[in-house]
Structure 1
């Protein structure tokens, strides 16, 4: 059993935390390996002389090369943006596990097109492959987090959704280091740059093989009126018999929640969209969830991920291999930060505190780097070795990574998967995933031009935005840790504010559990379970707990 300081909202059998729930979450979140790998390898691949030679880019001016590289990077995000919306009908009609299978298949098609591109085909095939691979990634980025949110016990929901971030960083580490290894061990030529593009097929192929074996989301099955299958899947995921009181209680709560939500939204494909648009509270929640990805990109993360060689060159790092090595260290720090976030921080410290701490530490680091470049002007004074002040700037870049990785890197995905009730979650997750790719597209498309025109001002710009995000999070974002999905509406009630909502809701839960736990502890009592207008559980409907 895995037990890393979890805090439960109700007495929970140990079997609920078995390897089965972790394995299903890991297979689903393995989609993020594809995302992390792409975000890391593409920038370093574009910097390889062998790639530039293959596609006749060596004779391009700086502005021409910036334009082409921005197209190669940003077309992928454009595909992801539209894929996130395509994930909505796929997730609604076909379910989570087959949606992930389809996303992996589409991604592999795009990866193959990138691999077969060469000097004779030109960049057209590369562009097409980038868009198609992005389409598959967009679908996966929608469905993977909500699948995990739907199958996870509340006490470890943040940790399980956080595996998405861990897989992202695993892919990132491989992507950041692969071109360093290729440049040192493979002679300059077609094979050198091709290797990194071909490796995309490994995570894509593994997800396509593993997704059909996932246990389908019991919540999705219930929403499709497949009640027997829902109970069977819930029993499998909880490693308990179907008639166990814990399984029966969760099944009854899920059934009543969906019944109540259908009375609000109506059944069908369009119901969730119309419900969100007609409800000001849900619209606000959607705006809040989407805006977190704007603030995430405001940290500068995608500028760094996709153009890391450019970033280190601006600090004063010279030489292709030195730049690739420095980028690889950055990837390892991100992975370690993601592990700490996943295993402890996300479910212990919570979402709000993490985001604010990450912004403050990241802003200080960015201000230092910007000040160093403004004063030392390393690009105007190139040297074969990095000065002591230059090393301090690199150190602060890594400090920025230490603050960013266990905070802003994965937390917005967790919050976005938690915020919404079942009857609108697939639609809202499409919007949230699309917002991530939209903001990433904007950053990826214009980062080269920003560094050309703004210089050190880019760092000051991102640092100032991080300071602004602290106030945004404190004033507007409620804490969601350990709050069951069925009670998220209470965090946005008219009687609470963002900074005290979690305390109030948890107090209500403790009071209700204290009054009802005896009814559920002997496994043979009748209990009335219903739903208030605000989405919280109350007495009202007979549910047999055997």
Structure 2
């Protein structure tokens, strides 16, 4: 299919696009299923009458319930924030494989604590479990995108990192529908809300057991001076012999890049931290990548994910089952949008293009919803029948989802995983992930109060932030599509205009490839000197 065609940075053997690289990426992105599920199920779970009854929340005032629900949701985000930095520690000392193994183990401990909460224990154990789950997810959100970016061939790097987003949305769909299912088939009881919390063990367990089979990142192994193991793992991932020209060339680029980076930064745990804060361009990239998550949360996504029942009530949707059904449809649209983004947009249309499209379409949709609520005031005219005005608002809400899901939902993670050199990537990814969770914490902590105080103004607020993000993306963010990781720093050279940087760097990449190909033709592999040099190269690694 033309839409699935790969744009390669060099002539690439077909063996490179094999099942092993996809299988390892899928295992790692079970981390995203954990994140997606936890982001989706909690908002509808705490709105269940059975949950409110279990923890004596039924008779709470609106302000008291808003405070408690905001705490249940936001302590998870706080755990994720700190977990993102713990992910740097685990990523450096344990690597990607065992770091993901640890994150899933922590996640399941937190899930177990949440399942142990009941009317006798109160919410204290629930809060503790939510924090610990967040800690595990924070670690995973750091390491999973890095791992996938490091093992992926350049032509499908965006697609494989996109699996992270697809799995996130898959988990979200399950999370949005789980409570609709239990309300339809299980009467209000402890069991009704317990099931949704217990399902957390499925993605957590899949990542835990799958991690034992992961092939450790060759890039991380080289950074730890385990060169022979790195070459072996790279050959496994590319499904080629260790002395295959493609493997030798890619391994040489990895080794040379890391040697160069070490000459600038030095080795050690604090080396990357010092390097980032000592480098003006890396500090700039940290701010740039972190700010993408400011704009991502500025779309209103976390307000919707965690408080979807409140969102739909403000539009005029009444009845718990109707609200849960509407939320479930929202989750399906997000999943479809993520699939379109993964299969086509991210590696074809580019990062900047999809972000601009998402901001424009999302802003128009949010402005419409805010205007409808301001004029019709559906909350002041409750009815069991959904009015035509409410239907139009729902349509624009789904339209907002259509624009958001294949754009802002996953693209910031791709850019954040791509634009930093290997020797600082675990630290910078920790900063990117922490930024996401920090701004998510701010939004989730204050969304209930924002709806109480601002009403329709919440939608106008998010729409305006999306408008402001447009010049930011166009004038400040360079395109990273198809740029080799080892040449990403060229996008940020002094004087390089972000909106022109991609074309300039790609022209250089093609020129380099052409010179290398010309040299290969001149010195044919059949020549004795070429063969001897290649053999010496492999032996030096072994």
TM-score normalised by structure 1 residue count:
0.96
Q: Is the 8 A contact 1:524 1:545 kept in 2?
A: no
Return the offset for 1:524: 5.8
Return the offset for 1:518: 3.5
User: In the alignment, what sits opposite 2:164?
Assistant: 164
Segments of 5+ residues of structure 2 without an aligned counterpart are none
User: In the alignment, what sits opposite 1:59?
Assistant: 59
String of CA shifts for 1:468-512, please: whole Å, max 9, x gaps.
001000010000000000000100012421000000001111111
Q: Distance in 2 between matches of 1:523 and 1:166?
A: 42
Q: Is the 8 A contact 2:87 2:140 kept in 1?
A: yes
Q: Distance in 2 between matches of 1:241 and 1:520?
A: 19
User: In the alignment, what sits opposite 1:464?
Assistant: 464
Mapping for residues 305-324 of structure 1, pairs under 5 Å = 305-324=305-324
Q: Distance in 2 between matches of 1:153 and 1:524?
A: 27
User: In the alignment, what sits opposite 1:334?
Assistant: 334
Segments of 5+ residues of structure 1 without an aligned counterpart are 528-541
Return the offset for 1:2: 12
Are residues 1:352 and 2:352 paired?
A: yes
Mapping for residues 6-405 of structure 1, pairs under 5 Å = 6-405=6-405
- How many residues were matched structurally? 533
Return the offset for 1:520: 4.2
User: In the alignment, what sits opposite 1:539?
Assistant: none
Return the offset for 1:293: 0.4
String of CA shifts for 1:143-171, please: whole Å, max 9, x gaps.
00000111111111100011000000000
Q: Distance in 2 between matches of 1:136 and 1:512?
A: 42
Q: Distance in 1 between matches of 2:329 and 2:462?
A: 22
User: In the alignment, what sits opposite 1:436?
Assistant: 436
Equivalent residue of 1:473, what SS? Answer: helix
Q: Distance in 2 between matches of 1:524 and 1:378?
A: 78
String of CA shifts for 1:289-326, please: whole Å, max 9, x gaps.
00000000000000000000000000000000000000
User: In the alignment, what sits opposite 2:446?
Assistant: 446
User: In the alignment, what sits opposite 1:502?
Assistant: 502
Q: Distance in 1 between matches of 2:503 and 2:430?
A: 30
Equivalent residue of 1:47, what SS? Answer: coil
Return the offset for 1:519: 3.3
Equivalent residue of 2:379, what SS? Answer: coil
Q: Is the 8 A contact 1:96 1:147 kept in 2?
A: yes
Equivalent residue of 1:10, what SS? Answer: coil
Q: Distance in 1 between matches of 2:132 and 2:500?
A: 44
Q: Distance in 1 between matches of 2:538 and 2:498?
A: 35
Q: Is the 8 A contact 1:245 1:523 kept in 2?
A: no
Equivalent residue of 1:7, what SS? Answer: coil
String of CA shifts for 1:305-349, please: whole Å, max 9, x gaps.
000000000000000000000000000000000000001100000
String of CA shifts for 1:74-110, please: whole Å, max 9, x gaps.
0000000000000111110110000000000000000
String of CA shifts for 1:398-454, please: whole Å, max 9, x gaps.
000000000000000000000100010011001111110000000000000000000
Quote the RMSD (CA, aligned, Å).
Answer: 1.6
* Residues 1:486 and 1:181: Cα distance change in structure 2 (over 3 Å): same
Q: Is the 8 A contact 2:73 2:444 kept in 1?
A: yes
User: In the alignment, what sits opposite 2:513?
Assistant: 513
Q: Distance in 1 between matches of 2:245 and 2:302?
A: 47
Q: Distance in 1 between matches of 2:177 and 2:257?
A: 47
Q: Distance in 1 between matches of 2:238 and 2:496?
A: 33
Q: Distance in 1 between matches of 2:327 and 2:9?
A: 42
Return the offset for 1:3: 8.8
Q: Distance in 2 between matches of 1:543 and 1:329?
A: 59
Q: Distance in 2 between matches of 1:523 and 1:123?
A: 69
Return the offset for 1:357: 0.3
Return the offset for 1:212: 1.3
Q: Is the 8 A contact 1:245 1:545 kept in 2?
A: no
Return the offset for 1:455: 0.2
String of CA shifts for 1:209-247, please: whole Å, max 9, x gaps.
001110000000000000100000000000000000000
Return the offset for 1:514: 1.4
